[in-house]
Amino acid sequence: MAIHVGTSGFKFKDWKGAFYPEGTPEKSWLEYYATQFDCLEMNSTYYRQVHPATFYQMARKVPEGFQFTVKAYGGLTHEIAGGDNEADFATFLESLRPLVEAGKFGGVLAQFPTSFHNTEENRAYLARFRERMGEVPVVVEFRQREWVGEATWAFMRSLDLGWCAVDEPQFRSLMPPVCVATSSVGYVRFHGRNYQTWWQGDSKSRYDYLYTRDELSEWLPKIRALDEETGKVFVFMNNCFGAQAAKNAIDIRDLLKEHGS
């Protein structure tokens, strides 16, 4: 069992000086990142399909034991009505091959939109998604609160789909901080708690947030429980502005060590 801590992305201009030492060339950012963390969540893959050569080069820049998780292409999670996206699955899976072959692949994060309701049709799509992913570990992040509940978790266990726990403002329309093991992979994402600016429509208003150590400490028992019930746990910070994600990733990693995890 192992707990891996990192950030959702690494290639941010405003991390220069705040996380990456001044003078570090951008081409060396990943190597530096890998000296500080042992995992990375790739989010850019949601917006476009990546050529396998990209992941081949990235895998070469990180040490043995480092793990990449990869967000599913949007055509697999957000553009699924009225068409067959089987070709998109094939392209996406091929892109992952260099990470798998290098032993540096942790799994796929499939984030579905709020409009993805808990319906028979969408449950069938999740089953099809799981089938098309083959042996690839898959974790699902729901944005629709309807999915919370024992029936969903039993369904996910039957498909070997992991549940992504999230920390975000506790509006009635958002997901609660429920942490549960439904596969051999545990997964937690921290989005920030910007209650006042969450609905302003831009990502900075939503994710520009620095957690306190007390706020992070609330999650320690949940993360430890996940570690006991799964083969591995990923903890990612998505509050990326101004390198706050990197700072908080270090904070929660230190807290886990201080408390024996």
Residues 6+ apart with CB under 8 A from 204: 241
Q: Are 67 and 102 in contact (CB under 8 A)?
A: no
Is beta strand 138-141 parallel, antiparallel or unpaired with respect to 161-167?
parallel
Q: Please list the rounded mean pLDDT of every run of 10 residues in the chain (261 residues).
A: 93 96 96 98 95 97 98 91 80 97 98 95 96 96 96 98 95 90 98 87 83 97 96 96 96 91 59
Residue 243, judged by CB atoms within 10 A of its CB (0-12, 13-18, 19+), counts as buried
Res 200: pLDDT = 80
pTM summary value: 0.95
99 contact partners, CB below 8 Å, separation of at least 6: 55, 58, 59, 68, 70, 105
pLDDT at 83: 59
- List the domain range (segments joined by +) for residue 184: 3-258
Q: What is the pLDDT of residue 173?
A: 79
Q: For the domain that residue 48 is a member of, what is the CATH number?
A: 3.20.20.410
What's the structural domain count of the chain?
A: 1
- For position 203, what pLDDT does the model report? 77
pLDDT at residue 1, rounded to an integer: 57
Q: For tokens 């967000």, name the residue.
A: 71
Contact 46, 33 (CB under 8 A): no
Side chain identity at residue 24, one-letter code: T
Could you please report the per-residue DSSP string of the chain?
A: --EEEEEE----GGGBTTTBPTT--GGGHHHHHHHH-SEEEE-GGGTS---HHHHHHHHHTS-TT-EEEEEPPHHHHTS-TTS--HHHHHHHHHHHHHHHHTT-EEEEEEEPPTT--S-HHHHHHHHHHHHHHTTS-EEEE--SGGG-SHHHHHHHHHHTEEEEEEE----TTSPP------SSEEEEEE----TTTGGGSSHHHHH-----HHHHHTTHHHHHHHHHHSSEEEEEE---GGGHHHHHHHHHHHHHHHTT-
